[in-house]
Amino acid sequence: MRRGALAVLHQYEPRRGGGLPGAGSASCGAGGGETGSPGGPVRIGSLFSGIGGFELGLERAGLGEVVYQVEADPFCRRILAQHWPDVPRFEDVRAVGLHNLPAAEILAGGFPCQDVSMAGRREGLDGERSGLWWEFHRVIDETSPNHVVVENVHAGSSGWLPSVRESL
């Protein structure tokens, strides 16, 4: 069956036992830090938020609550503000990190596809837009979430997926 995008790419070993309900884990050596309260909602952070599809799905699935969103497009930020009026929003993924993002156990996002899409320039992760993956990676390294969800186009995934997996 052909799918349009990648869903769960990688799961980190939970920092203090537990983890997501029904989710297995693959060890990746995440560091220390605080987690959500036991039995309480898991905190969800979002990069390249768009209009909030990941956030909406994760919240509706009962996995947790959104604690921040990062989105460059002004129209999308207005939509996000309508659905999550009290959630902090940031405009530039290059300007966020451990110094200004709330803690989150889940980090989700779909980095720009223009350079990795079969219809795009095919510059890969070195391209100007899809190269923002490395900012996503930097945020993962700085914030050490327990779980990471990365989304991008299926067509062309042979060009970006191996590099993304290897970098994690």
Q: Are 90 and 70 in contact (CB under 8 A)?
A: yes
> Closest Cα to residue 81, out of 69, 97, 65?
69
- Give the side-chain half-sphere CA count within 13 A for 110: 20
Q: Which residues are catalytic?
A: 113
Question: Rounded to an integer, what distance in angstroms lies between the CA atom of residue 3 and that of residue 126?
Answer: 25
SS3 state of residue 57: helix
DSSP-derived pairing of the beta strands 8-11 and 147-150: antiparallel
